[in-house]
Amino acid sequence: MTGLKTPEIKAQLGARLVELRARVEHLDAELHQPLSADWEEQAVDMEVQDSVEGQEKAALAEIRRIEATIGRIDAGTYGECISCGNAISPQRLAVLPTAAKCIACAD
């Protein structure tokens, strides 16, 4: 799509990817901490682990979206809806740079 500043977008997404990968590494290390020997503390630890797992899943999903977006930038198809092939509005991409579908197809 013409008019999009794809080098800048790719750089921003690349920086976010570095942040997310570091976060996932930290969360993964946190998940591999041994549980407390105390039963009550274990219950708290397990609740914390559930939260950390949710955060890790969300970060991994965002990583996949960013990687797919960078792939579309590299292929020259960034800004084109992956469903219908029409242009994704620049306003939508400004708000959600990883948008892969136009508004019509996203609904």
- 83 falls within a domain: no
Instruction: Take residue 35 and report the two structure tokens written for it.
Output: 């549980």
- When divided into structural domains, the chain yields a total of 1
The pTM of this model reads 0.81
In a domain, 89, yes or no: no
Domain of 25, in residue numbers: 6-78
Q: What is the pLDDT of residue 98?
A: 97
pLDDT digits (tens, 9 = 90+) for 86-104: 999 999 999 999 999 999 9
What integer best gives the mean pLDDT of the chain?
A: 91
23 part of a folded domain: yes
pLDDT digits (tens, 9 = 90+) for 14-28: 999 999 999 999 999
pLDDT value of residue 38: 78
Domain annotation covers residue 103: no
Residue that is written with structure tokens 């198809």 in the block: 77
Q: What is the mean pLDDT of residues 72-92?
A: 96
Is 94 inside a domain boundary? no
- Could you tell me where the beta strands, DSSP code E, fall in the chain? none
Residue 36 lies in a domain: yes
Taking each helix axis as running N to C, give the angle between helix 6-31 and helix 39-75, from 0 to 180 degrees, rounded to the nearest 10: 160
Whether 54 is in a domain gets the answer: yes
